[in-house]
A = this chain, B = another copy of it.
Amino acid sequence: MLNHSLDLMYAALADGSRRTMVDRLSRGPASVKELATPLKMSLPAVLQHLRVLEESGLVRSEKVGRVRTCRLEPEALQAAEQWIADRRAGWVSRLDRLEEFLNGEDR
């Protein structure tokens, strides 16, 4: 399940337009129209990108009256960040152990 959503989250982030949308949402909730403003694409194309972001869990949206407001889901963003951070930490701790070993060899 988590593995599956990492697939969807990284796939969602692998597109510059969707990252522009996530970047906008990192500064606060926005309407679909606001998300579309910097993107120079049709509204249906924006809605398609929004759907990919929502299916990944990174973004949710709610329609009140005629306006759909989108928000970031920080827990999902954190999961995507954490997976990479953990792998990088593994690499760094390996380098630290290697350094310790080599320093030990010097003595």
Contact = CB atoms under 8 A, between A and B. Distances in A.
A77 B81 contact: no
A87 interface: yes
B94 A23 contact: no
A11 B6 CA distance: 11
A103 interface: no
Chain A interface size range? 20 to 34
Interface in A55-107: 72, 74, 77-78, 80-81, 83-88, 90-92, 94
Given A74-B92, A78-B88, A90-B26, A83 B11 contact: no
A13 interface: yes
15 contacts: A6-B14, A6-B16, A7-B16, A10-B10, A10-B14, A11-B11, A11-B14, A23-B90, A26-B86, A26-B94, A28-B94, A77-B91, A78-B88, A81-B84, A81-B88
